[in-house]
Amino acid sequence: MSVLVDSSSRVLIQGITGREGGFHTEQMRAFGTNVVAGVSPGKGGLDANGIPIFDTVADAVAATGANVSGIFVPPPFAADAIMESAASGIPLSVCITEGIPIHDMIRARAFVQRCGTRLLGPNCPGLVTPGQCKVGIIPNHINIPGPVGIVGRSGTLTYEVIQGLGQAGMGQTSSVGIGGDPVLGLSFSDVLALFADDAQTRAVVMIGEIGGSDEERGADFIRTSGFDKPVVAFISGRTAPPGKRMGHAGAIISGNTGTAQSKIDALTAAGAAIADTIEDVVRLVAGRL
């Protein structure tokens, strides 16, 4: 099974004619993703390696029935791309772009919520359902199907966990990178709720980091919702010097909220097993399947 994307997903790429959009589109196709359209204003009627290009998302949806958007648009224009996707009725937009101004994202997220659609990201690696679909930049070769759901803020750490589990013979139902910016679409709680409803997901790995309070809110969801699947959590940034901003724009600590210890305490109280290293993640997951 899967969450958010599967073999039936029809993907369009906003920014397909850019360097990053073009490269990762071909990587997605190599993975087996059904990329049905690209969007690049002013280039409608052309094609990118056989993929038809449209001037607007609305035109692409009308012509191809696309239902997932991958957004590889430069930061000054990415919020508008997110809102265009939502306004066109795309159920899921996946924004990879890093460096979108925070005020732009406040406006874009509010618009997405009003449209009743979903946004993953920005500043995220995207998501993968092994053997079915990939939207984003997670490396192709590390993903294998299996019973573990993964949700993380850090792209690189998510890749390491995917690879470590795979090398130990434990594949994934889906791996979802929510991103590290202060203003995001889907949260840990949102993705945990999706995994709770997926019968094939037998265990979940949460990959968090210092800053913000999304991990604490995820812990509250586990504790109060009756979430009945084992959770293994890894929190990075434990050795970060106090008072220094580290890594993602969202890695900002306010008082006691957002510290590694506050996240560990909240997740421990919710019944999650806490891993100190990636190797611990693999060992703890194996012991819970």
Q: Is the peptide bond before 125 cis (omega within 30 degrees of 0)?
A: no
The Cα–Cα gap between 61 and 123 comes to 24
**According to CATH, what is the number of the domain 144-286?**
3.40.50.261
The yes or no reply on domain 11-120 and CATH 3.40.50.10210 is no
* Nearest Cα residue to 186 out of 37, 5, 1: 5
Residue type, 101: P
Say whether pTM exceeds 0.85. Answer: yes
Domain ranges in the chain?
A: 11-120, 144-286
Residues 6+ apart with CB under 8 A from 27: 134, 137, 140
Residues 6+ apart with CB under 8 A from 4: 92, 118, 120, 127, 129, 174, 176, 194
Give yes or no: 141 in active site: no
- Whether 11-120 and 144-286 share one fold: the answer is yes
Pair 39, 13: CB distance under 8 Å: yes
Choosing from 24, 103, 141, 248, the catalytic residue is 248
Taking only the tens of pLDDT, the chain with its 289 residues reads: 689 999 999 999 999 999 999 999 999 999 999 999 999 999 999 999 999 999 999 999 999 999 999 999 999 999 999 999 999 999 999 999 999 999 999 999 999 999 999 999 999 999 999 999 999 999 999 999 999 999 999 899 999 999 999 999 999 999 999 998 999 999 999 999 999 999 999 999 999 998 888 999 999 999 999 999 999 999 987 766 666 555 555 555 555 567 888 999 999 999 999 999 999 999 999 999 9
